[in-house]
Amino acid sequence: MKTVTVLRHAKSDWSDAALRDFDRGLNDRGYRAAAVMGRWAAQQGLSFDAIIASPAVRVVETLKRFREAHGDCPEPVFDMRIYLAGGATIAEVLSETSDSVSQILLAGHSPGLEELILTAVADNGRSALRGAVEVKFPTAALAVLDFDIADWASLATDMSHRARLRAFVRPRDLDPSLGPDSV
């Protein structure tokens, strides 16, 4: 079994319209949400052998806050292929992981992360968690996927319906002030 914890970057700062998309950092709500999610992950006992992430500034800043709040986390490996990638590209990146790694924290962007989750988890009509991801995978949301595989390489050929969605948590689930109607 291999586990991928999927983390979308937290809320980005749009105050400087001159910044490229890649260079946008987090706003105050984003910093708070990243820390809330890191604390939750630690409280749930989630651990990571590796972190693979987009090098976009908002992902780097999300991971910094998440890791500070979580505690014991490895250094991230930043891979440009994750930036704005689709689910198939993300699966390809995951497939290159050493089989000595069992648990990965994957940090990136929408819509590729949702695509990965929705392809990996079967739509049997009975999963409320999958249905919630299908509706929206908001900023700083976290999902835990358990893949019934022995090696990461198998994801390169087919990731369809190979995972169970163990958890899906949004910042607003943990702190209502981080909801969409909050400032």
pLDDT tens digits for range 169-178? 999 999 988 9
Residue 151 in domain: yes
Residue 140 belongs to some domain of the structure = yes
68 falls within a domain:
yes
Q: What is the pTM of this model?
A: 0.95
Residue 173 domain-assigned? Answer: yes
Where do we find the tokens 């400087």?
16
pLDDT tens, residue by residue, 38-69 = 999 999 999 999 999 999 999 999 999 999 99
| 163-169 and 76-78 beta bridge pairing | unpaired
Q: Do the domain assignments include residue 126?
A: yes
Domain that holds residue 20: 2-178
- Let me know: does 110 contact 81? Beta carbons within 8 Å: no
pLDDT in tens, 61-92: 999 999 999 998 999 999 999 999 999 999 99
Kindly state whether residue 183 falls inside one of the protein's structural domains: no
Tally of structural domains, the chain: 1
Does 159 fall in a domain?
Answer: yes
Place of tokens 């914890």: 5
Q: Write the CATH number for 124.
A: 3.40.50.1240
Within-domain flag for 162: yes
Taking CA atoms, 66 is separated from 74, 90, 135, in Å, by: 12, 21, 24
Q: Which residues contact 173 (CB under 8 A, 6 or more apart)?
A: none
